Amino acid sequence: MANLYRVGLALLMVSGVFAAEPIQGNADRGAKLFQNEQCVRCHSVNGKGGTAAPDLARRMDRDYTPAVMASLMWNHAPEMWTGMKAQGIVRPSLSAESAADLFAYFVAGRYFEKPGDAGRGKLAFHDKHCDSCHGIDAAMAGGAPPVSRWESLADPIVLAQQMWNHGGKMRAAYLAASLKWTELAPQELTDILVYLQNLPQTRHQAESFEFDISDSGAGLFASKGCTECHQGKMALENRLRNQTLTEIAVDMWNHQPSMKQPSPVFTRPEMREIIGYLWARQYFRGEGNAGRGKKVFADKHCAACHEQPSSGAPALGGAKGQYSDISMMGALWQHGPRMLELMGERKLPWPRFDAQQMSDLIAYLNSR
């Protein structure tokens, strides 16, 4: 896997029990951590690595959310520690910063995109009339850039930007050719991308994934005129929460015919801000319920240690918003082994959570 990933994930709230302020996760550091801490000895990524544990890149459905990842790592931790000990691997002490870097690496690897089929993609590229203008090595009509020059094949943010910005020209080209606007389904675009990404002319492109989560995204969204339509029931802030970036690009494409003219144009940095505002904030925001989380806290025996000063376990809660999926990962690797020992002494089972329970527990801890 290419190592040119750059991800600014300011919303990965790893403040939790280990950091007072939100920090950014860096996927380059995450990739090195994955290697240096010998995760790769058990886990593989796209077939590269060990076979004792699952290939992390093969879990590519849209439901592989931060809460799912945190719950899976938590549930699997005792087995991981046992396996590491058997192989003579020193257990890493994963800090909050390292947890953010590792998660940024997983995001950069696009583990949240659906798998595609190159054969279907080749057919769709023709059936949707893409090859009428875009040749592989040369323009076929109207000076359309050839596929070999598409930066969007390596960067989903660029894909969204270019599909949006070129919509006006594409509409004109469709009219000139007496063609009806062709809508895309998310799977069709995914298949097309897989087909194009695996061409000899494009395989050399190093994947890149970079976006920022800043306060300027909301203002930019308004200044571009998007809020004139996207408000109330049409507001996008929560509608895009569980969509992949490819699905968002498809929505942008399909939305072109109904857009007011002229439609706004986005630079690459602006598109990163818009994606960060509309998608990333929702993606990394948990949907937990504090009431259910209180029950999880009781049912999983958390109170047996964390509300008993004599146990030596720290009290949990105390600051709004300080807990997150990422901070839970950091806490697990910092204190999990000792926690496992104490629970064994008390004959308590290791707590296991599904993703919703993890989100609910986090919501409860943030409400205390």
Q: Enter the tokens of residue 280.
A: 């990333």
Q: Give the pLDDT confidence of 310-335 residue by residue, as tens digits.
A: 777 777 876 666 788 878 887 888 78
Identify the DSSP state of 141.
S
CA–CA separation, 191 vs 119, rounded Å? 8
| pTM of structure | 0.67
159-189 pLDDT, tens per residue? Answer: 888 888 887 778 777 788 787 888 899 999 9
Is 80 exceeded by the pLDDT of residue 299?
A: yes
* DSSP H helices in 256-321: 268-275, 281-283, 290-299, 303-306
SS3 (DSSP) at 139? strand
Of 241, 343, 254, give the one whose Cα is nearest residue 302.
343
Average confidence score pLDDT of the chain: 78
